[in-house]
């Protein structure tokens, strides 16, 4: 790829990050009015900076056993502290649904869930991978907060390890170590630590896909390395499954067109084998081909209606009790009719959803506040500046220092942006739907501080 094209791509990524940063800055007064301000937040931010700096210092060289154990102990204490927020409280939304799905699976009811807003039992509302994994874990360790925290910690640890491997593979082991540490203590990850959520599982699979495209093992061994995480990602978060192909597309000049197509075809065949049991199950349940989930129609409506914000909202009461497959078609038709009648509002809403989801970071606080019994708002006032502040700092530093990172990493970040633009922002689209890009941005941030200045965009591992 010519230096001119590289510069254009980099400028495009920088412009996108800059737009998200500006939107996030404009949201600060609204956050202050909504949650309030607390002097405690200053101490929280200072403590988190000290935590991050400690890891940065200890990981500047290959650490011995002592520093690793020290960081592990610190991490355990911090995660337990955040888990205390959830003790004695019940989560709402997806975390609660995943727990109910896992418990129902162990009770012999299969992956069936009564959805009160839909007024019926749904059999493929949620993709199966995470609830099946949660059920297997719960069969041994139960579903109490310590058990869910332990499972989440293992998954987060897997994502951090792959992030380290990616940094090393691209040529900067120090940046990989530091990015892994930042990921483990990142506010959005800590807020989700005590909850049954799948975002970190998706991060594991997406990082594995990025590594599969970069390493490109030969033959069917490479097909398995690519196809298995691609299929599992489709069974965990179907809306993010296109990333399996997008990573290959953006790296085509590095890989070559024909090798990229061959690798993609072979990986696709393996992914189909991974998906096959779910297809068979859905065929038996619905007597129809349901490749992933039945949530796409509802997701389209949630993202496109007169009151839409991108986040979940109660569906039309008039559809309550409609059978699962028919429900999806009818609610999607309502959304499409609104889009056709209000094209300008649709475009404005879609752009707003994109900027809001990528520019703010209050979802973790919102999810804790929504738990019952009510989460003290004084704690929300202490925590939201940390969440939003670190997110804005990540966007700013990644954008300003983008020229110091390998162009391969720039392309991976660009692929994440294409995923959002092409496949995500048209539906229900909130902060959690862009979390998969966080590891790549953290690696970019850490990279720029772990290497001396180099010629702009000259590094191409």
pLDDT value, residue 269: 97
Given a cut of 90, is residue 289 above it in pLDDT? yes
Q: Is the peptide bond preceding residue 373 cis, with omega within 30 degrees of 0?
A: yes
Mean pLDDT taken over the chain: 91
Given a cut of 50, is residue 421 above it in pLDDT? yes
Q: How far is CA 154 from CA 12, 133, 264, 370, in A?
A: 35, 12, 30, 25
Give the Cα separation of 107 and 82 in Å (integer): 30
Given a cut of 50, is residue 214 above it in pLDDT? yes
266 CB-near residues (< 8 Å, 6+ apart): 220, 222, 223, 226, 227
Given a cut of 60, is residue 346 above it in pLDDT? yes
- Could you give the percent of the chain with pLDDT greater than 90? 73
Where is 208: in which H helix or E strand? helix 199-215
Q: Quickly state the pLDDT bin for 461 (edges 50, 70, 90).
A: very low
Tell me the β-bridge partners of 113: 122
Tokens of 175: 């940046």
Q: Quickly state the pLDDT bin for 370 (edges 50, 70, 90).
A: confident
Q: What is the mean pLDDT of residues 161-166?
A: 97
More confident residue, 91 or 185: 185
Phi, psi of 406 (to 5 degrees): -60, 145
Q: What is the mean pLDDT of residues 282-309?
A: 94
CB 149 within 8 A of CB 125: no
pLDDT value, residue 130: 97
Given a cut of 60, is residue 451 above it in pLDDT? no
pLDDT value, residue 218: 81
Token pair 């790549």 is found at 440
pTM: 0.94
pLDDT value, residue 85: 79
What is the per-residue pLDDT across 105-124, written as a single tens digit (0 to 9) for each?
999 999 999 988 898 899 99
Give the Cα separation of 264 and 432 in Å (integer): 27
pLDDT value, residue 450: 64
CB 24 within 8 A of CB 395: yes
Q: Quickly state the pLDDT bin for 146 (edges 50, 70, 90).
A: very high
Given a cut of 50, is residue 181 above it in pLDDT? yes
- Could you give the percent of the chain with pLDDT greater than 70? 97
H-helix segments, 287-376: 296-303, 324-341, 343-359, 363-369
pLDDT value, residue 127: 95
Q: What is the DSSP letter of 256?
A: -
Given a cut of 50, is residue 458 above it in pLDDT? no
CB 442 within 8 A of CB 394: yes
Lowest mean pLDDT among 17-26, 172-181, 379-388, 441-450: 441-450
Given a cut of 70, is residue 237 above it in pLDDT? yes
Where is 371: in which H helix or E strand? none
Given a cut of 80, is residue 77 above it in pLDDT? yes
Give the Cα separation of 448 and 400 in Å (integer): 10
Closest Cα partner for 418 from 266, 244, 231?
244
Given a cut of 50, is residue 460 above it in pLDDT? no
Q: What is the mean pLDDT of residues 26-44?
A: 89
CB 135 within 8 A of CB 112: no
What is the per-residue pLDDT across 242-258, written as a single tens digit (0 to 9) for each?
999 999 999 998 899 99
pLDDT value, residue 257: 93
Tokens of 305: 């209606």
Q: Quickly state the pLDDT bin for 402 (edges 50, 70, 90).
A: confident
Q: What is the mean pLDDT of residues 361-365?
A: 88
What is the per-residue pLDDT across 319-333, written as a single tens digit (0 to 9) for each?
999 999 999 999 999
Domain range list for the chain: 3-450
Q: Quickly state the pLDDT bin for 297 (edges 50, 70, 90).
A: very high
pLDDT value, residue 332: 96
């Amino acid at each position: 790829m010519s230096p001119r094209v590289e510069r254009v791509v980099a400028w495009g990524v920088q412009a996108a990050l800059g737009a998200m940063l500006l939107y996030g800055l404009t949201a600060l007064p609204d956050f202050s009015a909504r949650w309030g301000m607390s002097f405690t937040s200053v101490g929280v931010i200072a403590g988190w900076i000290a935590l991050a700096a400690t890891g940065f210092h200890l990981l500047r060289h290959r650490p011995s056993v002592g520093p690793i154990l020290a960081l592990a102990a610190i991490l355990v204490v911090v995660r337990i502290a955040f888990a205390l927020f959830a003790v004695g409280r019940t989560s709402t939304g997806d975390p609660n649904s995943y727990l109910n799905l896992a418990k129902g699976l162990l009770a012999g009811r299969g992956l069936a869930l009564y959805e009160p807003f839909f007024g019926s039992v749904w059999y493929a509302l949620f993709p199966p991978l995470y609830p099946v994994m949660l059920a297997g874990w719960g069969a041994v360790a139960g579903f109490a907060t310590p058990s869910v925290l332990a499972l989440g910690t293992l998954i987060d640890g897997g994502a951090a390890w792959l992030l380290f491997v990616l940094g090393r593979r691209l040529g900067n082991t120090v940046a990989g170590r530091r990015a892994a540490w930042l990921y483990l203590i990142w506010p959005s990850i800590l807020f989700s630590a005590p909850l049954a959520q799948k975002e970190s599982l998706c991060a594991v699979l997406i990082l594995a896909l990025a590594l599969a495209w970069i390493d490109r093992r030969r033959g069917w061994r490479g097909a398995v390395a690519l196809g298995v995480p691609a299929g599992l990602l489709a069974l965990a978060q179907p809306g993010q499954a296109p990333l399996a192909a997008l990573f290959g597309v953006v790296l085509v000049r590095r890989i070559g067109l024909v090798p990229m197509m061959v690798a993609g075809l072979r990986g696709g065949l393996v992914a189909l084998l991974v998906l096959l049991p779910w297809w068979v199950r859905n065929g038996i349940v619905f007597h129809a081909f349901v490749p992933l989930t039945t949530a796409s129609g509802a997701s389209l409506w949630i993202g496109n209606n007169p009151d839409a914000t991108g986040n979940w909202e109660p569906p039309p009461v008039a559809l309550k009790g409609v059978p699962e497959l028919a429900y999806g078609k009818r609610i999607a038709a309502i959304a499409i009719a609104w889009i056709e009648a209000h094209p300008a509002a649709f475009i404005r809403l879609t752009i707003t959803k994109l900027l809001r989801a990528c520019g703010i970071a209050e979802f973790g606080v919102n999810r804790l506040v929504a738990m019952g019994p009510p989460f003290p708002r004084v704690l929300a006032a202490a925590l939201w500046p940390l969440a939003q502040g670190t997110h804005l700092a990540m966007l700013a530093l990644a954008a300003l220092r983008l020229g110091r990172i390998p162009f391969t990493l720039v392309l991976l970040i660009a692929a994440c942006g294409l995923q959002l633009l092409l496949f995500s922002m048209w539906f229900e689209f909130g902060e959690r739907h862009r979390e998969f890009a966080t590891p790549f941005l953290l690696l970019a941030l850490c990279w720029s501080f772990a290497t001396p200045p180099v010629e702009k965009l000259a590094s191409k591992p």
